[in-house]
Amino acid sequence: MSNDVLPVSAIRFKAEAADWREAITISGDLLVASGATTDEYTEAMVKTVEELGPYMVIAPGFALAHSRPSEAVKRTGLSWVTLAEPVEFGSQANDPVDLVVGLAALDHDSHIQVMSKLAGVLANAEVLAQLRASTDPEEIRAALLGD
Amino acid sequence: MKIIAVCGMGIGTSVLLKMNIDQALDNLGLEGDVEAADISSARGAAASADLVMTSAELVEQLGDIDTPVIVVDNFVDQAEVQEKLQQGLEL
């Protein structure tokens, strides 16, 4: 798996976000900064929540920010943002959110390996707690990209 | 057996859910075909499925379908996914 999927430039710790829009925008800006997407994708991620609700808050405190594959996606990419203060997304089951992972996918298949790795991390409460508290980008990269 | 994992776009949360349903089926010793679908194609896909699994937010948008729908709160909690799967399949 290419390490380009989650470069250090797409990882940020203790970010300040006033609300869910800002939290998603930060995760989108990091995808842009790392060359995975354009600003249109960030706007599409926000719009997705506006239209479909906070369904992407899929685990306690965790949001997987994403939108559909489009021309705004240049390559498969992830971003990792922990928040200084958790924000409400409006999710009944899983608010408030303190970890946002941004996802950009080129199509329905090419990011499956990345997702499989992410699923493994999310399913392991111990590993996830450690990564949530981490301020070492290489630790995040090793967990999500390593063998 | 066919199970549909539904999310808004069909590339993110439903893919994670599909992976955990696959794992749960495996744990239960069941054979099944699990498909990730976005909300716009889910209604069609659900017609030929035995079970639909999705989040509380998307249930309403699925509308009236004949296939049983199960709401999952934590998509990455293997224990919850397995329990809901058993419930949905009436095992």
Query: Rg of chain A's alpha carbons, rounded to an integer?
Result: 14
Q: For residue A1, what pLDDT band results from cuts at 50, 70 and 90?
A: very low
Is residue A2 over pLDDT 70?
no
Query: What residues in A contact B78, CB-CB < 8 Å?
Result: 123
A114 part of contact set with chain B, CB < 8 Å: no
d(CA A33, CA B81): 35
The residue in chain A having the minimum alpha-carbon distance to the alpha carbon of residue B56 is A55
Mean local confidence (pLDDT), B44-65: 92
* Position A57 pLDDT exceeds 60: yes
Stretch B11-25: mean pLDDT, rounded? 93
User: Which pLDDT band, with edges at 50, 70 and 90, does A113 fall under?
Assistant: confident
- Looking at chain A, which residue has its C-alpha nearest residue B17? A119
Q: Is the Cβ pair B76, A119 closer than 8 Å? A: yes
A69-109 tens-digit pLDDT: 999 999 999 999 999 999 999 999 999 999 999 999 998 88
> Is the per-residue pLDDT at A38 higher than 90?
yes
> Which residues in chain B are contacts of A62 at CB distance < 8 A?
76
Give the A:B interface size as CB pairs under 8 Å. 81
CA distance B40 to A92: 23
Please tell me the predicted confidence (pLDDT) of residue A147: 65
User: Which pLDDT score, from 0 to 100, does residue A26 have?
Assistant: 98
- Nearest-CA distance B1 → chain A (Å): 22
Q: What is the mean pLDDT of chain A?
A: 94
In the structure, what pLDDT confidence band is assigned to residue A50 with cuts at 50, 70 and 90? very high
For chain B, give the percent of residues with pLDDT over 90: 80
Does pLDDT of A3 surpass 70? no
For residue B70, the distance in angstroms to the closest alpha carbon of chain A comes to 14
Distances (CA, A) of B21 to A34, B50, B72: 32, 13, 11
Interface of A with B in 14-43 (CB under 8 A): none
The residue annotated as part of the active site, out of A12, A66, A111, A141, is: A66
Among A48, A58, A67, beta carbon nearest to B16: A58
C-beta atoms of A93 and B20 within 8 A? no
- Nearest Cα neighbor of B32 from B10, B6, B50, B7 is B50
Query: What is the average per-residue pLDDT within A3-30?
Result: 95
Per the annotation, the verdict on A111 as an active-site residue is no
Say if the Cβ atoms of B57 and A53 lie within 8 Å. Answer: yes
Within 8 A of A51 by CB-CB distance, chain B residues are 8
From residue B31, alpha-carbon distances to A16, A123, B78, B79 in Å are 46, 22, 17, 18
Output A110 or A143, whichever has higher pLDDT. A143
Q: Closest residue of A to B77, CA-based?
A: A123
pLDDT reading at A49 higher than 50: yes
**C-alpha to C-alpha distance for A143 and B19, rounded to whole angstroms:** 18
- What residue in B sits closest to A51 (Cα-Cα)? B8
